[in-house]
């Protein structure tokens, strides 16, 4: 038995096609071409890679984009001014400040938007949570009445994922109607093991390499790996990216599993594209 490996790259390709035809339609109707602006602070290598992936994808889909680089020494005042200026610029549909910021971890999510998310109102769903939601949906996995374990409670990943999955499917922003449990760094490992073994869907977002091992996972469960951990390969000495899940071992126990890389990552980028087009559609027409 081997789990179905759910390719985020493949699902992202589906979403790309949808977004691309959406953009073509918008432009054909005489609307401005959606534009994604990214503010990138400092020289964090991973951040530069993420931003390149986003702007490259944007152009492939027919969206224009621009990246504004600022040194790590940028002041909070200048950042706020930039964000304010871009928010008022009608040529910009979507604005993204790539996190983490080198010093001050400014919350990337507007309080009003998070408020709407928590009240099940229609809103811009944070891209990683939206990616996890779409992976479940497009794989055809049922969530209603199912046990979901979210490992990690960060405000930008774990929390919004749990928020989407536990809430009511009949609300304005439909939820997954699952029984959701959240584990975090204070959850003792034996307890984590109990919780994972009950879960129909495990979402690993802890930033701990190989935290989720095969013995913890229920046979046939869906395992979604949100972790992106850079690790030195003990054999080759090369840096490589691994998730929070022991992929090779869990693959032969789970029913569905997402790889790292090629799982949640490309889907997150696809959801940034979708959100930008949504923002372009929501923009007031003057
Ligand atoms: P991300 O933004 O990807 O969610 P963070 O580092 O902000 O990453 O958050 C990591 C989350 O994982 C935190 O909520 C933390 O409590 C949780 N976590 C860390 N270690 C463990 C662990 N050993 N078991 C369960 N949860 C953990």
The pLDDT tens digits for 15-46 are 999 999 999 999 999 999 999 999 999 988 88
- Report the CATH fold assignment for 126-264: Rossmann fold (3.40.50)
pLDDT band at 103 (very low <50, low <70, confident <90, very high): low
Taken in order 86, 125, 54, 260, the sign of the CA dihedral is positive
Contact 201, 221 (CB under 8 A): yes
Alpha helices in 29-177 (DSSP H): 45-60, 76-88, 111-118, 127-139, 158-166
The active-site residue out of 43, 84, 105, 107 is 107
Average pLDDT of the residues in 217-226: 98
Q: Is 64 exposed, middle or buried (0-12, 13-18, 19+ CB in 10 A)?
A: middle
Angle at 106 between CA 155 and CA 71, to 5 degrees: 135
Q: Residues spanned by CATH 3.40.50.10860 within the chain?
A: 30-106
Q: What per-residue confidence (pLDDT) applies to 107?
A: 37
Per-residue pLDDT band at 12 (split at 50, 70, 90): very high
**Percent of residues, the chain, with pLDDT higher than 90:** 80
What CATH number has the domain spanning 30-106?
3.40.50.10860
Tens digit of each residue's pLDDT (9 = 90 or more) over 131-152: 999 999 999 999 999 999 999 9
Beta bridge partners of 5: 257
Give the residue, out of 46, 47, 126, 185, with the most ligand 1 atoms within 8 A of its beta carbon, to mutate for a pocket test: 185
pLDDT for 278 beyond 60 = yes
Closest among 124, 259, 272 to 204, alpha carbons compared = 259
Q: Specify the pLDDT at position 106.
A: 34
Q: Tell me: the pLDDT tens digits for 54-97?
A: 999 999 999 999 999 999 888 888 999 999 999 999 999 999 98
Q: What is the pLDDT of residue 72?
A: 86
Ligand 1 centroid distance, CA of 128 (Å): 15
Which residue intervals of the chain bear CATH 3.40.50.720? 126-264
């Amino acid at each position: 038995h081997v789990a179905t490996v759910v390719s985020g790259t493949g699902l992202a390709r589906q979403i790309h096609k949808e977004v691309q035809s959406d953009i073509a339609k918008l432009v054909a109707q005489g609307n401005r071409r959606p534009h994604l602006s990214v503010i990138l602070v400092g020289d964090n290598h991973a951040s530069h890679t993420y931003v390149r992936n986003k702007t490259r994808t944007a152009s492939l889909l027919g969206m224009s984009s621009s990246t504004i680089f600022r040194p790590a020494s940028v002041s909070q005042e200048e950042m706020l001014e930039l964000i304010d200026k871009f928010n008022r610029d009608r040529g910009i549909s979507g604005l993204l400040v790539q996190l983490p910021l080198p010093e001050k971890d400014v919350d990337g999510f507007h309080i009003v938007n998070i408020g709407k998310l928590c009240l099940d109102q229609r809103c811009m769903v944070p891209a990683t949570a939206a990616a996890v939601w779409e992976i479940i949906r497009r794989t055809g996995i049922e969530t209603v009445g199912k046990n979901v374990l979210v490992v990690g409670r960060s405000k930008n990943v774990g929390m919004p994922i749990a928020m989407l999955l536990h809430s009511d499917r009949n609300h304005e922003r439909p939820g997954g109607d699952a029984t959701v449990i959240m584990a975090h760094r204070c959850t003792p490992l034996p307890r984590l093991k109990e919780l994972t073994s009950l879960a129909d869907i495990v979402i690993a977002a802890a930033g701990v390499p190989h935290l989720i091992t095969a013995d913890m996972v229920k046979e046939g469960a869906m395992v979604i790996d949100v972790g992106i951990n850079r690790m030195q390969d003990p054999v080759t000495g090369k840096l490589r990216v691994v998730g929070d899940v022991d992929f090779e071992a869990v693959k032969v126990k789970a029913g569905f599993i997402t790889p790292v890389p090629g799982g949640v990552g490309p889907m997150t980028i696809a959801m940034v594209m979708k959100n930008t087009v949504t923002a372009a559609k929501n923009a007031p027409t003057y």
